[in-house]
């Protein structure tokens, strides 16, 4: 039995150590807000926070999490910065099809927590691993600036 702390609650899960954290979140616990995109760490759709750092949950084995605190899209809006980012996302109408947006918001929130006033270059660098097939990049950048203001 592994003990995980997710979104402020403890979860005991009986899964193999080498199972990707993404599978545990979606299929074992039922937090399906985090998306499965490529499964090989190339698209960013599965981004969650581990002790505040944006990580790819499809490339993180559940056994490597240990006591680190996991935050997913289901709870990011309860944080001050997460709420600002989500509001900016709505105000700027970033979302098109929506599939990548959980990961985009998790990466954007981690960036703003570390760099409160990011430049365009900071944003492009931090968000480079989050792919959007609809091409919402310009609005993502606008929304991050808005949340930083």
Partner 1 sequence: MSQNARPTRRLMLQAGAVAAGSLMLGLRLSTPARAAEPAPTPDFLPNAFLRIDRQGVITLILPHAEIGQGVYTSSAMLMAEELEVGLDQVSIENAPPDIAKYLDPLLYDQATGGSTSTRTDWVRLREASAVARTMLVMAAAQIWQVTPATCTVARGVINHAASSRSLGYGDVVEQAAKLPIPGDVKLKDPADFKLIGTEAKRIDAPSKSPFGNGLVRLA
Which residue, 62 or 75, is less far from partner 1 as judged by CB? 75
Q: Taking the complex as a whole, how short is the minimal distance between the CB of residue 63 and partner 1, in angstroms?
A: 26
The partner residues of 10 in beta bridges, in order of sequence, read 5
Using the rule CB under 8 A, is 73 a contact of partner 1? yes
d(C-alpha 73, C-alpha 106), whole Å: 7
Q: Taking the complex as a whole, how short is the minimal distance between the CB of residue 97 and partner 1, in angstroms?
A: 3
E strand or H helix at 70:
strand 69-71
SS3 at position 114: helix
Q: Which stretch binds partner 1 (CB under 8 A): 10-18, 30-38, 114-122, 123-131?
A: 30-38
Using the rule CB under 8 A, is 38 a contact of partner 1? no
E strand or H helix at 13:
strand 9-13
List of residues contacting partner 1 (CB under 8 A): 32-33, 35, 72-78, 82, 86, 89-90, 93, 95-99, 101-102, 105, 134
């Amino acid at each position: 039995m592994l003990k995980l702390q997710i979104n402020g609650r403890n979860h005991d899960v009986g899964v193999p150590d080498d199972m990707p954290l993404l599978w545990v979140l979606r299929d074992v616990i039922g937090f399906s807000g985090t998306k499965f995109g490529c499964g090989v760490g190339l698209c960013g759709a599965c981004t969650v926070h581990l002790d505040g750092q944006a990580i790819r949950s499809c490339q993180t084995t559940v056994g490597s999490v240990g006591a680190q605190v996991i935050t997913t899209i289901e709870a990011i809006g309860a944080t001050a910065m997460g709420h600002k980012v989500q509001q900016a996302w709505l105000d700027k109408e970033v979302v098109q099809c929506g599939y990548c947006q959980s990961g985009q918001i998790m990466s954007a929130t981690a960036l703003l927590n570390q760099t409160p006033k990011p430049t365009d270059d900071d944003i492009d660098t931090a968000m480079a691993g989050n792919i959007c097939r609809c091409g919402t990049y310009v609005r993502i950048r606008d929304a991050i600036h808005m949340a930083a203001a």
